[in-house]
Amino acid sequence: MIGRLNHIAIAVPDLEAASAQYRDMLGAEVGAPQDEPDHGVTVVFITLPNTKVELLYPLGEGSPIAGFLDKNPSGGIHHMCYEVDDILAARDRLVDQGARILGNGEPKIGAHGKPVLFLHPKDFNGCLIELEET
């Protein structure tokens, strides 16, 4: 059901410093920051030959990333995103098998302009999983 790894998301306490680190120290292609108000984050994508890294920074008071950074002040891996061909079919199959979908269970538009869903980390070995429709 899942396709390729789309990205690994890392919550960071300083978006500019993390972007500079990937650009200047590692020589990576670093995109511009983009605000995603529906998800409460500002994101920066780092393009690699085989996938992307998404840097996450809190946007606003109610950001879920703010809570993550409270528990992990230095930042850390937040989630992994896998591609799926049909997000509704993937959701229905996962729910039928006992997986929990975060939020109201309906896809939202993600940072790439495509529908996304998040799966409860307790159902996937402690890892928050994002599914993105290709």
pLDDT at 60: 87
Distances (CA, A) of 40 to 3, 34, 37, 67: 26, 11, 5, 11
pTM of the model: 0.94
30-46 confidence digits (pLDDT tens): 999 999 999 999 999 99
Cα-to-chain-centroid distance, residue 94: 19
Q: Which entry of 54, 83, 130, 133 is annotated as an active-site residue? A: 130
Is 54 an active-site residue?
no
Query: Residues of the chain with pLDDT > 90: what percent?
Result: 96
Cα-to-chain-centroid distance, residue 12: 12
What lies within 8 Å, CB to CB, of 123 at 6+ separation is 98, 99, 100
Query: What three-state secondary structure class fits 127?
Result: coil
Q: Which domains does the chain possess?
A: 5-133 (3.10.180.10)
Mean per-residue pLDDT over the chain, rounded? 97
Element spanning 54, H or E: strand 52-58
45-75 confidence digits (pLDDT tens): 999 999 999 999 999 888 999 999 999 999 9
80-120 confidence digits (pLDDT tens): 999 999 999 999 999 999 999 999 999 999 999 999 999 99
- Compute the average pLDDT of residues 122-126: 96
